[in-house]
Chain A
Amino acid sequence: MSVPLAQVQLRDRSGDTGCVSNNGFCPDWIADNYQRYQDPLIEHIVLTLISVAIGFAIAFSLALLAHRRRWLAGPIVQVTGILYTLPSLAVFFLLLPLTGRGRTTAVIALVSYTLLIIFRNVRTGLDNVPAETRDAARGVGLTDRQLLWRVELPLALPEIMAGLRIATTTTVGLATLAFFAGAGGLGGEIFADVNFKSNVVVAGGLCVLLAAALDLLILLAQRLATPWARAAR
């Protein structure tokens, strides 16, 4: 059950030139070796998407529940708050005896981190719907369910999407630690050779680019989903 760290650290530095053995920043080495980051990048993306999707499903349902039964909001915030506080690195190892090494463990830890962020934003979005709008919707005869799906949720969409963006970028960052739980990702590449500048810049840079790309994608989805926001401008 121990991590085969030694195995990771013995990394192949093919095409050894002066630059590489000096741990330098070597464009030539990067051009020759970019392929080794491909699989970790894909693992990283998959890990992030799965975690955010599950986290969103849970937190969104909890927020709808708390919207109807207000007394639930306090306990939910407290429990998700504790999950948010626990360092994910510690959670990986606390879970190891229960769920073993692998993606399951990593996903559970990452999901538990996203819950509070998404829950809080969905709640804020729903709470910010003006009372007048709600009254008007009831006045034209909408049921509770219609009110929620046709009025409140669309109006809360910017807040909800903001929460999703924060959760996604945070998860990309935390997923760099997922290799400790045996789930791969770009963090393993960074950790394998922290002294080698080329390695750190490429693997770290890919993480940042991934976070930025996913952030932009969600922003784009939000633009497409809220055409009225553009019209109002």
Chain B
Amino acid sequence: MISGATGSGFGVPLAGVVSEFSDAIEFIFRSRESRAGGADVGGSQMLDLLGEHLQLTLAASLVACLVSIPLGLWLGHIRRGSFVAISVSNVGRAVPSLALIAFFVAYLGVGFTNVTVALALLAIPPILTNTYVGVAQVDRDSVDAARGMGMSGLQIVRRVELPLALPLIFGGVKTSVVNVVATATIAPLAGVVTLGDPIINVSTYGDEGRLAAAIVVAALAVAAELSLSALQRAVTPTGLKLGSGRTLRERFPFPKRRVEATP
């Protein structure tokens, strides 16, 4: 049990901080008796928590993708509903995740399904907005050219608009997944025992368990971000990768002055 850093400020001895973190890391790898009695915590039990956390994240992200990608593709393809697609993300940002989950608990009760739906609702706005923007920003000329080649509407979506929008869509998915990983931490409030359990039920796990959970959640979020970034780069069409420079002038070595002084 740690009692050192109760006060604020930076006069905390470094040794205390190091020992708190090493306790927490030991907690991740070695199980120990629960403070409240009952089953052991830490060690392999952390793996169970991690498993539940991943399941919840995956379920919520999948539901969000299944709802928002088709809707975004459709709205982007007909180039209507920009107001809906954009403002949904503004509204989504203003609703705190804790409030949303509490709302679900109070009105619909606890359980895996309810939390999945609540997290999916949080995950929809970034994916929907990005999909819409990704498709709507596809060059009109490319779409016209595709139509001129005799492609049907569905073919245009599948073979022109979707590939060109993929980087942005994956950007939205990345934002949402990282957000869901973070928010799944408060799922124990609604009866789903994720990595947030040591944070919410600190009396069972102790301070070192709570810090351990914080470390694992942070690592998980970073891992999700990095792997989805790699995936995002992998799905970017080669033609778009050329455009990694910020402006046209950086992409292509145009002469700096457009009008050369003539003698």
Chain A residues within CB distance 8 Å of chain B: 1-3, 5-6, 23, 81-82, 85-94, 96-102, 104-105, 127, 131, 166, 169-170, 172-174, 176-177, 180, 187, 190-191, 194-197, 199-201, 203-204, 207-208, 211-212, 215
| Complexed CA–CA distance, A191 and B8 (Å) | 24
Interchain CB contact (< 8 A) of B93 among A85, A169, A197: A169
User: A190 touching B9 by the CB < 8 A rule?
Assistant: no
Which residues of chain B have C-beta atoms less than 8 A from A96's C-beta?
Answer: 5, 211
* Residues 204 to 257 of chain B near chain A (Cβ within 8 Å): 206-207, 210-211, 213-215, 217-218, 221-222, 225, 246-247, 249
- Pick from B102-110, B153-161, B163-171 the stretch touching chain A: B102-110
Q: Which residue of B lies closest to A86 (CB)?
A: B218
In the bound complex, what is the Cα–Cα distance between A102 and B100 (angstroms)?
25
Q: Which 4 A-B pairs have the closest CB atoms?
A: A204-B99, A87-B182, A93-B214, A211-B94
Interface residue SS majority, chain A: helix
Q: Is B78 an interface residue, CB under 8 A from the partner?
A: no
With A86-B218, A90-B185, A166-B93: A100-B9 Cβ-Cβ less than 8 Å: yes
Beta-carbon contact of A2 and B99 below 8 Å: no
**Contact, CB under 8 Å: B12 / A204:** no
Give chain B's interface residue range (CB within 8 Å of chain A).
35 or more
Q: B217–A170 contact, CB under 8 A?
A: no
B-to-A contact residues, CB < 8 Å: 2-10, 12, 16-17, 20-21, 90, 93-103, 105-107, 178, 181-183, 185-186, 189-190, 196, 199-200, 202-203, 206-207, 210-211, 213-215, 217-218, 221-222, 225, 246-247, 249
**What residue in chain B is nearest A175 (Cβ atoms)?**
B96
Other-chain residue from B96, B203, B206 in contact with A176 (beta carbon distance below 8 A): B96
The answer on a CB contact under 8 Å between B185 and A203 is no
**C-alpha spacing A3/B206, complex, angstroms:** 10
The answer to whether A89 touches B199, judged by C-beta atoms less than 8 angstroms apart, is yes
Partner of A99, one of B2, B3, B10: B10
* Bound CA–CA A101/B7 (angstroms): 7
Once the chains are docked, how many angstroms separate the CA of A127 from the CA of B103? 42
Given A101-B6, A194-B101, 16 new contacts (CB under 8 A)? A1-B2, A1-B5, A2-B206, A6-B203, A85-B222, A88-B182, A89-B196, A90-B185, A94-B215, A97-B17, A99-B9, A127-B247, A201-B103, A204-B102, A208-B95, A208-B99
> How long is the Cα–Cα vector from A177 to B107 in the complex, in angstroms?
21
**Contacts A89-B199, A127-B246 given: A97-B16 contact, CB under 8 Å?**
yes
Contact B221 A85 (CB under 8 A): yes
Q: Report Cα–Cα, A102/B9, bound state, in Å.
A: 10
A104 to chain B, nearest CB (A): 6
- Bound complex: CA of A97 vs CA of B215, how far in Å? 13
13 sampled A-B residue pairs with Cβ under 8 A: A1-B5, A5-B203, A90-B214, A90-B217, A98-B10, A98-B17, A99-B12, A169-B94, A176-B97, A187-B96, A190-B99, A194-B102, A203-B99
B9 touches A97 (CB 8 A): no
Bound-state CA distance A102–B93 (Å) is: 25
Out of B95, B196, B207, name the residue touching A1 (CB < 8 Å). Answer: B207
CB distance from A5 to the nearest CB of B (A): 7
**Residues in B neighbouring A180, C-beta threshold 8 A:** 199
Q: Are A172 and B94 in contact (CB under 8 A)?
A: yes
Q: Of A2, A166, A172, A199, which is in contact with the most chain B CB atoms at under 10 Å from its CB?
A: A2
For the complex, give the distance between the alpha carbons of A190 and B96 in Å: 11
Q: Which residues of B contact A173 (CB under 8 A)?
A: 93-97
Contacts of A177 in B (CB 8 A): 98, 186
Contacts of A127 in B (CB 8 A): 246-247
* B210 shortest CB reach to chain A, Å: 6
Bound complex: CA of A91 vs CA of B93, how far in Å?
Answer: 20
A228 and B100 alpha carbons, distance in the complex (Å)? 40
